[in-house]
Amino acid sequence: MNRLTEFMLPPAKSTTAGEVDALFHFINVTSIILLAGITFTIIYFAWKYRRRSEDDVTPVITHNSKLEITWSVIPLILVMIVFGWGLSGYMNLTTAPDDAYEVRVVAKSWLWEFHYQNGHVSVNELHVPVDRPVKLVMSSDDVIHSFFVPDYRIKRDVLPNRYTSVWFEAIETGESIIHCTEYCGRAHSDMNATVFVHTQEDFETWLESADAIDEDMPPAERGEALVTRSGCMACHSTDGSRMVGPTFQGLWMAERTMEDGEVVTADENYIRESILEPNARINEGYDPVMPSYQGTLSDRQIDDIIEYIKTLD
Ligand SMILES: [Cu+2]
């Protein structure tokens, strides 16, 4: 069974994944047995009851109660097993344990934001403790997205104007991939994130230190780390190439033409506004798709990003 699991599904790394897999394999194995049995029977009967002579006529058969009941009851039992098993698994997956650690998830085209109980926000990185249920309360800032962690066998749509939630308990430390599984526009396939599972101790250390600014690092270097961590690079390049958004290369003090024809110089205020209110002014030839980082990036962090952009000429 282990071989089979690995062949079809990634390793199961949550407490509930085993139950999902068991049902999946039950349905698969039952289907294969039925497929083989029915195919064999069809071929065997086609051969056994083949026409042997001119006057070989099939007698009129109106019905066969025993057979009909058998082929109705067996599938009914199978379907009820799958229903009961599926329902209990579904209920288990939808009701988070009371002591779950809660994280707010905000989906934006095309990144994931995770808001922790101490006010810290991480982008495209979900940090959680091992062996502790984690409940995610999710919503979207724009279109419908879907939160999927293959290793945990959990998937739930993330909607605008409504909360949905999902929970999991990781059983080992390490990393797992998060995918968006609802087509949400041009960079949908880049809308991935990572779950980092820590020991309880490491998790607390991470939570405490995550917001601390490394004073020993030059601001431009902190800015560079921030644009990577904040998902900016899904849409912006630093080598001059045009992606979903304009490149950061040569942006500092450049003249940018807006949709309405206004020409703006890319100074501190312009960059700050672009990050906090991206839709206040839209660059000519680009779509208004950048998410706002209001509440995600602090003033100090925006300073660091500006310092970094200054170095990219
Ligand atoms: Cu998405």
pLDDT of amino acid 3:
67
Residue 85, domain member (yes or no): yes
With tokens 């080992």, the residue in question is: 172
Domain boundary among 158, 180, 210: 210
Contact status, residue 102 vs residue 284, Cβ threshold 8 Å? no
Rounded distance from Cα 166 to ligand 1 centre (Å): 17
Which structural domain, as residue segments, surrounds residue 20? 2-52+62-94
CA 43 to centroid of ligand 1, rounded, Å: 48
CATH classification of the domain holding 179:
2.60.40.420
* Cα–Cα distance measured from residue 202 to residue 131, given in angstroms and rounded to the nearest whole number: 13
CB 119 within 8 A of CB 189: no
Flag whether 292 is in a domain: yes
Q: Please give the distance, rounded to the nearest whole angstrom, from the Cα atom of residue 233 to the centre of ligand 1.
A: 16
Query: Phi and psi dihedrals of 215, rounded to 5?
Result: -70, -20
Asked whether residue 272 is domain-assigned, the answer is yes
So what's the pLDDT on residue 228? 83
Residue 212: per-residue pLDDT = 65
CATH number, domain of 35, equals 1.10.287.90
- 180 touches 140 (CB < 8 A): no
pTM over 0.85: no
Output the pLDDT for position 120. 84
One domain, residues 192 and 292:
no
The pLDDT assigned to 134 comes to 96
| CATH label of the domain that carries residue 300 | 1.10.760.10
Structure tokens at 22: 């068991």
Residue 260 falls inside a structural domain: yes
Do 106 and 196 reside in the same domain of the chain? Answer: yes
Distance in angstroms (rounded) separating the CA atoms of residues 17 and 92: 11
CA of 264 relative to ligand 1 center, distance in Å: 31
Could you tell me the distance, in angstroms and rounded to a whole number, from the CA of residue 290 to the centre of ligand 1?
Answer: 13
What is the Å distance from ligand 1's center to 221 Cα? 29
Tell how far the Cα of 128 is from the centroid of ligand 1, in angstroms. Answer: 22
Mean pLDDT by 10 residues, the chain (313 residues): 69 91 92 96 94 85 93 95 94 90 92 89 92 96 94 95 94 95 89 94 87 76 87 88 92 92 92 92 89 86 93 88
Answer yes or no: is 57 within a domain: no
Asked, for residue 169, whether it belongs to a domain, the answer is yes
* 15 Cα–ligand 1 center, Å: 26
Q: Which residues of 272-287 are buried (b: 16+ CB within 10 A; e: fewer)?
A: bebbbebeebbbeeee
Q: Are residues 190 and 108 in the same domain?
A: yes
86 plus 107 within the same structural domain: no
Question: 274 lies in a domain?
Answer: yes
C-alpha torsion 209→213→218→222, nearest 10: 80
Q: What does the DSSP assignment read for 170-224?
A: B-SSEEEEEEE-S--STTGGG-EEEEEEE-HHHHHHHHHHHS---TTS-HHHHHH
Q: Could you give the CA distance from residue 24 to residue 16 in angstroms, rounded to a whole number?
A: 13
Residue 6, pLDDT score: 65
What is the number of structural domains in the chain?
3
Sheet holding 174-180, edge to edge: 125-129, 192-198, 174-180, 145-149, 154-158
Distance 106 CA to ligand 1 centre (A): 11
